[in-house]
Amino acid sequence: MTRLSVNINKVATLRNARGGNNPDVVKTALDCERMGADGITVHPRPDERHIRRQDVYDLKEVLTTEFNIEGYPSPDFMKLVTTVKPAQVTLVPDAPDQITSNHGWDTLANQPFLTDIVSALQADGIRASIFVDADEKMVELAAKAGADRVELYTEPYAGNYVSLGPEKAVEPFLKAAKTARACGLGLNAGHDLSLVNLAYLKRCIPWLDEVSIGHALICDALYFGLENTIKDYKHCLED
């Protein structure tokens, strides 16, 4: 079964735009769980422009599904996650002022750094996932760094799905996924996955462990409602 982790960053963005606590990030996360989400993802950034550190602590206290925290492993981030101890930390090579993730790690250039970070996470009982492009070598070197999983950065898949067609779009991702499986890595995917392209990715890579989806899911929820939208995304992931 491929698990759906709902990224609630956009809910926090909406809250922060007005001040106060509407929408309530914690309540939304609990509602997502009740509506069928298999996990909750957050990506706290240094400027707290959406998810705040306090949100992370508050969510940890109440979530009953898997909690996944994404981010760049700065000392501040590592202090946060090793205190909270979520089920999974996804290491993302974001600059502090980056609007959104737009590439995976160079796991060759950052091999010693990532090895140390992965080891520190695992010492605290946290599953370590490394965010990578659909590049077989980068996947292999993520395994060498000791990662438990890789998360494939799927924005190129989403773009090429429309411009080149599904078969061409999925080719490099299928190769990278097969490499991950051969290396004994678990496999996640995320970024720009949607109701348009998700089912095809799942059919081609049925051993996907988890997809993390936020922006498209929240946009769809504006039209279909949150519960219907979560059900639709879950339907895309059915075997």
Q: Tell me which residues are annotated as active site.
A: 43, 70, 191
Residue 58 neighbours by CB distance under 10 Å: 14
Each residue of 113-136: b (16+ CB within 10 Å) or e?
A: ebbebbebbeeeebbbbbbbbbbb
**Residue 1, CA distances (Å) to 16, 71, 196, 214 in order:** 35, 25, 20, 20
> In this structure, are residues 123 and 161 in contact, taking their beta carbons and an 8 Å threshold?
no
Residues shown for the chain: 239
- Please provide the DSSP assignment of 52-102 as one string: -HHHHHHHHHH--SEEEEEE---HHHHHHHHHH--SEEEE----TT-SS--
